[in-house]
Amino acid sequence: MKKKQFILQKYLDQLNWNQSVLSRESGVPTTVISRYLKGSRTYTIEYLIAIKEALQQNGITLHSIEDLFEKDRD
């Protein structure tokens, strides 16, 4: 099974957002977002859904929370 990498930064860049903007739009604390981006926090379904919905409401097309991740090539 391949490990999946969180690719949130890609979407933040597309929207020209920083972590504070995502926090405000999603209700997810900036400390959680920072740890997600560093890969140092276990993901929770509630926060992933909030992030997905905030991105979708601002023009990012995501079909599921799986779209926040990509498979490693190794």
What digits encode the pLDDT tens for the residues 10-57? Answer: 999 999 999 999 999 999 999 999 999 998 878 999 999 999 999 999
Domains and CATH numbers, the chain: 4-71 (1.10.260.40)
Q: Which two tokens stand for residue 27?
A: 């209700």
71: three-class secondary structure by DSSP: strand
- pTM assigned to the model: 0.87
- For residue 26, the model assigns a pLDDT of 98
CA distance 10 to 14: 6
Is the pLDDT score of 74 beyond 80? no
